[in-house]
Structure 1
Amino acid sequence: MTATIAEPVAPAARPVSVARGYRFELVKLLSQWRIRLLVLACWIAPALFVAAVSQQSSLPVDTLFGRWMNATGWAGPLVMLGFAGTYALPLLTSVVAGDAFAAEDRLGTWRHLLVAVRSYRRIFVAKALASLTVILVLVAGMAVSSTVGGVVAVGNRPLVGLDGHLLAPADAAGRVLLAWVCVLAPTLALAAIGLLGSVALGRSPAGLLLPAVVALAMALAQTLPLPVAVRLALPSYAFIAWNGLFTSPAQVGPLLIGIGVSLLWTAVATVLAYLVFLRRDFTNLSYDGSGRRALTVGTLPLAGLLAVTVGIIAASTPAMGSGIEQDKLQQSIATAFAHLYRQQAQQLNRPDVTEEQLATTVACTKGDGRVAAQGPGNDWRCVVSWHLPGVEATGSAIYQLDVMSDGRYVADGDGPKEVNGYFQVRTPTGDQPNPLWQFDGNVELLSTTSKG
């Protein structure tokens, strides 16, 4: 009788948990010199830039809130936010999310990663979460750094809103923070598009540049005279809709729609990236992406999403035409002028009057009355009239306006000189900037904002 010895059965290998995969991917990202350089730049460069510009006599007045950079520290982070939404954030998402999967193609490490983790789903989730974490760190760095630079260099002072009213430092701080939080939604949309490009196009440079190219195309579209429904259906609109937070009452309608659209694009693009990832051929070490797959699984669904979103917005909101109308513009200018007139009166030690006492009215024409008074353009001309208590004569001032497609406008004073025709006013303490000379405003594209 012979005895048989059974061979020990090796335990089945268990997939690596999402938490361990996430830590591994995060360490890989932060070990790259370009990521470390970006983190360092985002946490230091904005503070230096804002502090340096705030001390200059020549300010970036063509940038929203740029004219107030030497008056309050809360203007600096808003100037930086405008720059970030146009240039910095699309590039950051390209470098981080656009390279999340393509890096494995370049290095040829997919086989090793798959053997170690043993789960496509866990690999995708770990890479997406690691990319999201790094992007949040970069955005937080820009927000904190620019705020610190502005407050330290200029001071914690009130901020002039886009309707001329003064925001107390605490109120300004809260709205600045909320504005930075709001742009996270379109940033996530670009990051999801970056993940989709990185998966679908492999190590092709097109995948790395996809978020930046998409952001550039959407930014160009926002400058065109498109219908409001199309403008709001683009996730990039949330990069500029935060302007509405700095009016009273806040213009939150377009902002909420922009955030919702951005989050919807984030979800759809992430799901598409996951589906493409499940169908990837990891046995081909020279994989450079599939143009047909990128078109059928990536471009066409997102184009369809845009079309559906445009239809829903057009059907559910008054979003016909450009959204820039004569009545809205006149009401916005009247509100801003009344608030700013009170500030000028305080500078000149004149008796204080309320906005109701001024009874400001505005009459605007476009193209010297030869074209319809609606839509963007730099050919708007507005005459502002107001009354002072106890004075029979009616005051008047002229403004030339440059109204942009997104509803923002710049009002340039055209006289009389003692009101808005010169960039400074002579006060008992010396010459000071004239708040009525030039000012920025914002027209809500969806509906008329009540006068405040």
Structure 2
Amino acid sequence: MTTTLADAPTAGAGAGRAGARPVPVARILRLELVKQFSAWRVRLLIGLCWLGPGLLVFAIDQQSTLPSDTLFGRSMHATGWAGSLVVLGVAGTWALPLVTSMVAGDVFASEDRLGTWRHLLVAVRSHRRIFAAKAIASVSVIVLLVAGLAVSSVFGGLLAEGNQPLIGLDGHLLSGGDAAVNVLLAWVCVLAPTLALAAIGLLGSVALGRSPMGLLLPMLAALGMQVAQLLPLPVPVRLALPGYAFISWNGLFAAPRQLGPLLIGVGVGLVWAVVATALAYLLFIRRDFTNVNNDGAGRRVLTLGVLPLVGVLAATVGVVAVTAGASGSGIDQAKVQRSVATAFAHLYRSQQAQMRQPPVTEAQLQTTAVCDKSDGLGAQEGSGNDWRCTVSWIAPGYNATAQAIYQLNVTANGRYTADGDGPVEVNGYFLIVTDGKAVPNPLWQFDGNVDLLPG
């Protein structure tokens, strides 16, 4: 008969200590936090997260070339808030999966490598408290690292460019205060998918023991979700992936805010965090700690690890499909036309203000856009770099219709980049000269976002 962790107090501690009270969670938590902060990799991550983004943003702001292919990258010379959003976009792709792997993915496996489980069980005498303390400690460190990324990037951006207004994804101007609130909300929202990856890391650390795959599991899961977001998936499947909130914070920077995809992404991330943590706990209390050759869950990984998460994915896809009423790619001709026309109208007003022209209202402009995909051949929906839009508006002071051409590259998640293709005096040049000073032309190239959910 084997002894599981639930039986460990009696078998490992002896009859004289079997009735002793378990160690309080607070004491175990202090021990786990000491372990975390004593590890060189965690100290290195703390230094990188609290210093690296600020230094990087400040250094980029001093360069003449900006990361224009990154969302809000071309705005880094205009406002200090853009730098934090650039860091957030990169962090969701690389930094946050790495952080969860290095912290949560190793919190249980480190005991297997060191062979300290028996000593820990005898000292603590409660498997539930051990699991709770390790989970809380790892989440605390991860939240600290995320806070470092946010604070450092904001400080570096404000130091370089100051609290200037930020141009949103539909061309409207956010004041410094509004930009600050939205940047803070965006960082808070990405905690949900980060916690989901952390829970997957806990599950891998428990299930796979000293195997390096447990450490890599959050990064592999994040990579798989990133690849999936590049594919032409139906909207319910896209929104049901736990990492979608790494992308959907973009909706905070449109007017009105596109909160539907963001709230769904946050909710799905939290559901995955709870389910994966519960599965890790079930595997942990059923593990045989008396066999030194057994450092994982064996066949239970499939029944208590993989299959339940597949079931959660299937269930969330069904719930999103029914409640959100979304289907297909979520990108159609009407949405693209409406988004491009709105963004152009906002940015045209900004351009006129830069050129010291008389102010004009959007009602006076009467902006419309006609867009087609693949020269009108085939279905007028879906992602691709073959969208072409003709924007029309009433030229101020002339009472005549003017037009501009844009080539669009629309990604599968609804984000697009509009590249001006004439006329030259409107969107033909990257810079415009006003009062003898060259400033960026807001109509030369701009980013936008299509809400994937029905209007």
Please tell me whether residue 392 in structure 1 is matched to residue 394 in structure 2. Answer: no
Q: Is the 8 A contact 1:80 1:146 kept in 2?
A: yes
Letter in 1 for 2:85: L
C-alpha displacement at 1:318, in angstroms? 2.1
Alpha carbons of structure 1 residues 111 and 10: separation in structure 2 relative to 1, 3 Å = closer
Aligned to 2:173: 166
Letter in 1 for 2:246: F
CA deviation string 1:1-26 (max 9, x = no partner): xxxxxxxx989421001111111111
Q: Is the 8 A contact 1:105 1:285 kept in 2?
A: no
Aligned to 1:230: 237
Please tell me whether residue 279 in structure 1 is matched to residue 251 in structure 2. Answer: no
Letter in 1 for 2:248: A
C-alpha displacement at 1:284, in angstroms? 2.1
Aligned to 2:63: 56
Helix, strand or coil at the partner of 1:285? coil
Aligned to 2:52: 45
Letter in 2 for 1:209: L
The 1-side partners of 2:383 and 2:306 are apart by: 31
The 2-side partners of 1:131 and 1:124 are apart by: 11
* % identical equivalent positions: 68
Please tell me whether residue 113 in structure 1 is matched to residue 133 in structure 2. Answer: no
Letter in 2 for 1:208: L
The 2-side partners of 1:427 and 1:78 are apart by: 28
The 1-side partners of 2:104 and 2:18 are apart by: 36
Helix, strand or coil at the partner of 1:380? strand
The 2-side partners of 1:239 and 1:384 are apart by: 31
Q: Is the 8 A contact 2:392 2:404 kept in 1?
A: yes
Matches within 5 A, 1:98-177: 98-177=105-184
Please tell me whether residue 196 in structure 1 is matched to residue 225 in structure 2. Answer: no
Please tell me whether residue 269 in structure 1 is matched to residue 269 in structure 2. Answer: no
Please tell me whether residue 352 in structure 1 is matched to residue 364 in structure 2. Answer: no
Letter in 1 for 2:290: T
Helix, strand or coil at the partner of 1:409? strand
Please tell me whether residue 308 in structure 1 is matched to residue 318 in structure 2. Answer: no
The 2-side partners of 1:292 and 1:340 are apart by: 58
Aligned to 1:342: 349
The 2-side partners of 1:429 and 1:112 are apart by: 74
Count residues with an aligned counterpart.
Answer: 440
Helix, strand or coil at the partner of 2:395? coil
Aligned to 1:86: 93
One of 22, 27, 32 as aligned partner of 1:20: 27
Alpha carbons of structure 1 residues 125 and 11: separation in structure 2 relative to 1, 3 Å = closer
Please tell me whether residue 427 in structure 1 is matched to residue 434 in structure 2. Answer: yes
CA deviation string 1:260-285 (max 9, x = no partner): 11110011001000000000111122
The 2-side partners of 1:364 and 1:167 are apart by: 27
The 1-side partners of 2:151 and 2:297 are apart by: 41
Q: Is the 8 A contact 1:105 1:287 kept in 2?
A: no
The 2-side partners of 1:130 and 1:277 are apart by: 17
Aligned to 1:383: 390
Aligned to 2:267: 260
C-alpha displacement at 1:291, in angstroms? 4.3
CA deviation string 1:31-76 (max 9, x = no partner): 1111111101100000111001111111111100000011110000
The 2-side partners of 1:393 and 1:380 are apart by: 26
Give the TM-score of the pair, scaled to structure 2.
0.95
The 1-side partners of 2:72 and 2:328 are apart by: 28
One of 300, 323, 330 as aligned partner of 1:323: 330
Letter in 2 for 1:323: G
The 2-side partners of 1:354 and 1:80 are apart by: 34
Alpha carbons of structure 1 residues 288 and 447: separation in structure 2 relative to 1, 3 Å = same
The 2-side partners of 1:207 and 1:181 are apart by: 27
C-alpha displacement at 1:286, in angstroms? 3.0
Structure 2: runs of 5+ lacking an equivalent: 1-15
The 2-side partners of 1:12 and 1:317 are apart by: 54
Alpha carbons of structure 1 residues 255 and 376: separation in structure 2 relative to 1, 3 Å = same
The 2-side partners of 1:284 and 1:419 are apart by: 74
Aligned to 1:365: 372
CA deviation string 1:344-379 (max 9, x = no partner): 101111111011110100000100111221100000
C-alpha displacement at 1:294, in angstroms? 1.3
Alpha carbons of structure 1 residues 10 and 406: separation in structure 2 relative to 1, 3 Å = closer
Please tell me whether residue 95 in structure 1 is matched to residue 86 in structure 2. Answer: no
Q: Is the 8 A contact 1:98 1:207 kept in 2?
A: yes
Aligned to 1:5: none
Aligned to 1:66: 73
Alpha carbons of structure 1 residues 10 and 343: separation in structure 2 relative to 1, 3 Å = closer
Aligned to 2:8: none
Q: Is the 8 A contact 1:378 1:403 kept in 2?
A: yes
Helix, strand or coil at the partner of 2:292? coil
Aligned to 1:186: 193
The 2-side partners of 1:220 and 1:144 are apart by: 29
Please tell me whether residue 333 in structure 1 is matched to residue 340 in structure 2. Answer: yes
Helix, strand or coil at the partner of 2:345? helix
Alpha carbons of structure 1 residues 274 and 388: separation in structure 2 relative to 1, 3 Å = same
Aligned to 2:217: 210
Please tell me whether residue 297 in structure 1 is matched to residue 288 in structure 2. Answer: no
C-alpha displacement at 1:316, in angstroms? 1.4
C-alpha displacement at 1:288, in angstroms? 3.9
Structure 1: runs of 5+ lacking an equivalent: 1-8
Q: Is the 8 A contact 2:287 2:296 kept in 1?
A: no
CA deviation string 1:92-140 (max 9, x = no partner): 0000000010000000000000001100000000000000000000000
The CA RMSD measured in Å over matched residues stands at: 1.2
